[in-house]
Amino acid sequence: MSEKIPVAQRLSAVKPSATVAVAQPARELKAQGIDVLSFSVGGPDFDTPVHIREAAKKAIDSGATRCTAARGIPELREAICDASAKRRAGVTYEPSQVVVSVGAKHTLFNLALALYDEGDEVLIPAPYWVSYPEQVRLAGANPVIVQTTEEQGFRMTPEALRAAITPKTKALILCSPSNPTGAAYTGEQLRALADVAAEHNFWIIVDEIYGQLVYGGFEQKSIAEVAPDLKDRIIIVDGVSKTFAMTGWRIGWMLGPEYVTKACEKIQGQATTNPSSVAQHAAIAALRGPWEPMEEMRQAFEARRSIIVEGLNAIDGISCGMPEGAFYAFANVQALIGKEGGGKKLETDLDVAGYLLEEARCAVVPGTAFGAPGFVRISYAASNEMIREGLSRIGEALSKLG
Percent of the chain at pLDDT > 70 equals: 99
Mean of the pLDDT values across residues 7-33?
Answer: 81
CATH number at residue 167: 3.40.640.10
Nearest to 223 by CA among 173, 292, 181, 262: 173
Are residues 143 and 67 both part of a single domain? yes
Are residues 229 and 90 both part of a single domain? yes
pLDDT at 18 over 90: no
Confidence of residue 297 (pLDDT cuts 50, 70, 90): very high
> How many C-beta neighbours within 10 Å does residue 382 have?
21
Are residues 308 and 251 both part of a single domain? no
Predicted TM-score (pTM) above 0.85: yes
Percent of the chain at pLDDT > 90 equals: 89
Q: Using CA atoms, how far apart are residues 355 and 209, in angstroms rounded to an integer?
A: 31
Are residues 244 and 347 both part of a single domain? no
Q: Any idea what DSSP says for residue 52?
A: H
Are residues 43 and 55 both part of a single domain? no
94, part of any domain: yes
> How many C-beta neighbours within 10 Å does residue 7 have?
8
196, part of any domain: yes
pLDDT in tens, 154-204: 999 999 999 999 999 999 999 999 999 999 999 999 999 999 999 999 999
Q: Using CA atoms, how far apart are residues 274 and 222, in angstroms rounded to an integer?
A: 27
Residues facing residue 253 across a β-bridge = 100, 238
**Residue 200 three-state SS:** coil
Residue 325 confidence (pLDDT): 98
Q: Using CA atoms, how far apart are residues 184 and 278, in angstroms rounded to an integer?
A: 33
Helices (H), 32-89: 50-61, 74-87
2, part of any domain: no
Query: 325 φ, ψ to 5°?
Result: -160, -165
| Cα–Cα distances in angstroms (integers) from residue 297 to residues 47, 222, 248, 385, in the given order | 10, 22, 17, 16
Q: Using CA atoms, how far apart are residues 123 and 142, in angstroms rounded to an integer?
A: 9
Residue 256 confidence (pLDDT): 98
pLDDT in tens, 320-365: 999 999 999 999 999 999 999 888 899 999 999 999 999 999 999 9
Residue 279 confidence (pLDDT): 98
Residue 24 confidence (pLDDT): 79
Identify whether the C-beta of residue 294 lies closer than 8 Å to the C-beta of residue 288: no
Those residues whose C-beta lies under 8 Å from the C-beta of residue 62, and which sit 6 or more positions away, are: none
Confidence of residue 209 (pLDDT cuts 50, 70, 90): very high
Confidence of residue 89 (pLDDT cuts 50, 70, 90): confident
> How many C-beta neighbours within 10 Å does residue 332 have?
19
DSSP states of 320-381 as a string?
A: E---SBTTEEEEE-GGGTT-EETTEE--SHHHHHHHIIIII-EE-EEGGGGT-TTEEEEE--
Burial of 125 (0-12, 13-18, 19+ CB in 10 A): buried
| Domain limit, last residue, from 273, 288, 303 | 288
Are residues 153 and 252 both part of a single domain? yes
Those residues whose C-beta lies under 8 Å from the C-beta of residue 231, and which sit 6 or more positions away, are: 91, 224
Mean of the pLDDT values across residues 69-88?
Answer: 95
Mean of the pLDDT values across residues 120-131?
Answer: 98
Nearest to 105 by CA among 221, 179, 202, 207: 207
How many domains in the chain?
2
